[in-house]
Chain A
């Protein structure tokens, strides 16, 4: 308990002291995870919508694959992306390894199945009367699609929150393809791993608390938006 209290005080000190290393890690974490989330949403919402809304051959198999990908270990994603981006890999020429872009690629692979699976589940659970009601009001197929996505907005927001939580807190991808380079690719989670390895538990806990505060802020903003939309 004493360790946590010390960690809490240290977290406040770290934030107030304006430590460059800490602020750099926070900025990298927030920027790369936000970028990854938006990319996952951009790709995942339409794909998840199609998966839940339309009926096509192989849909069940695809759904099972997407659901299975929810359990992808971040270290495995890191390994796959590393293999692809390493100098001898098929995308080695891009020179992305040990950059924030490489972390973003891995995090999109992590976030995409979450957005797709949860969006598909939400669309499937929507009231089947929506289509008939909208058609009865003279809606075109495009109007029906747009309105249906809008009806699923709370579920999509929940998917975004879940994906953001997973992306922000992952360590395997950032460590393997980012390389934990200070002021460059070091994120809060890789910094925690490093500090813990050095035996600096208090700093590790302090950084963990910072991570929680960021998650709290994001959820508060989303919850505010949700209330406004209702």
Chain B
């Protein structure tokens, strides 16, 4: 099976500054890819590039083997993007939904198709007559999604689709996305901060940080400022509560660097006994008291993500259902997060 997208040495600049740099990346058709990362990490830029709404300063993006710079309007019409804050035309919902079909000259069975996609996003048929000004934020998001689903796109790109919607809208969006993939083989790319929602909907996730692609699915980021202890080759982060993290300086880029620790580098200690991912080779400094705040199922079979808030920061670890039962790793439980600094990477 050939790749749908192939990225080669892509660099994108904004105001003379590189905001995205991806040496290599491929995406297979029919997959649902989640893109995570903090604000300003380049998620929206990556999605815009993949929607061919902008050209990279350097490098190439291939779509089904065709160089993005040579892509035709007809080919681009196979890809549709839902921006973070979608704009609805000053028309009624029906006209908004069929706009994409009209510009493609497709006017067959419009009424039934509109009813179908409204149903897909959890809105009643009567909604088609509503004016653009009568919609709430969540309804705007769902109507905008319906306007893209009616096109039965080959690629559906969603930028923060759940950022300003309630739980029921987020659920409707998830069901619509899964339906599109199941029925039409649509490849879906989603940027979101909603890790829980992404875990449920995506086959794979990539993480962007400062415009760089990280290959791990679950990475814990520890931002600076760091204090250097050059004599012993280590850096220290001191939390307001007195907790201390000590990490190796290898690869360190300055006091505002971000330390990256994969989920496997963290373990949990319960009541003085080491729990998941335990490791004996740990610095005494790197033990942070905290509390389990969430437990989520990963799309990987039998793997769960444990979220712990410690020293005011969120840490994410992987574990199994069996260990959750044995260790009692349930939300609300007080634990200690242990950081193994051997696998630290710096950005």
Contacts and interface: CB of A to CB of B under 8 A. Distances in A.
Interface of A: 127, 129-130, 132-140, 143, 147, 150-151, 153-154, 230
A59 B61 CA distance: 35
Among A129, A132, A147, A150, residue most surrounded by chain B Cβ atoms (within 10 Å): A132
Interface residues of B, number: 25
Contacts of B76: 138
Nearest to A135: B53
A132 B77 CA distance: 14
A133 B87 contact: yes
Contacts of B133: 230
Contacts of B147: 137
Interface string B139-169: 0000010011001000001000000000000
A136 B103 contact: no
14 contacts: A127-B87, A130-B89, A132-B53, A133-B83, A137-B99, A137-B100, A138-B76, A138-B100, A138-B103, A138-B104, A138-B151, A153-B90, A154-B90, A230-B133
A172 to B, nearest CB: 38
B90 A129 contact: no
Given A129-B83, A139-B103, A147 B53 contact: no
B186 to A, nearest CB: 15
Given A136-B83, A137-B103, A138-B103, 8 more contacts: A133-B87, A133-B144, A134-B99, A137-B147, A143-B103, A154-B90, A230-B90, A230-B131
B53 A138 contact: no
Nearest to B85: A129
Contacts of B86: 129, 133
Interface of B: 51, 53, 73, 76-77, 80-83, 85-87, 89-90, 99-100, 103-104, 131, 133, 144, 147-148, 151, 157
A154 B77 CA distance: 30
Contacts of B82: 136
A126 to B, nearest CB: 10
Nearest to B144: A133
B106 to A, nearest CB: 11
B87 A137 contact: no
- Going nearest first, the 5 A-B pairs with the smallest beta carbon separation are A138-B77, A129-B87, A136-B81, A133-B87, A137-B100
Among B76, B82, B85, B87, residue most surrounded by chain A Cβ atoms (within 10 Å): B87
Nearest to A129: B87
B131 A136 contact: no
A137 B80 contact: yes
A151 B96 CA distance: 12
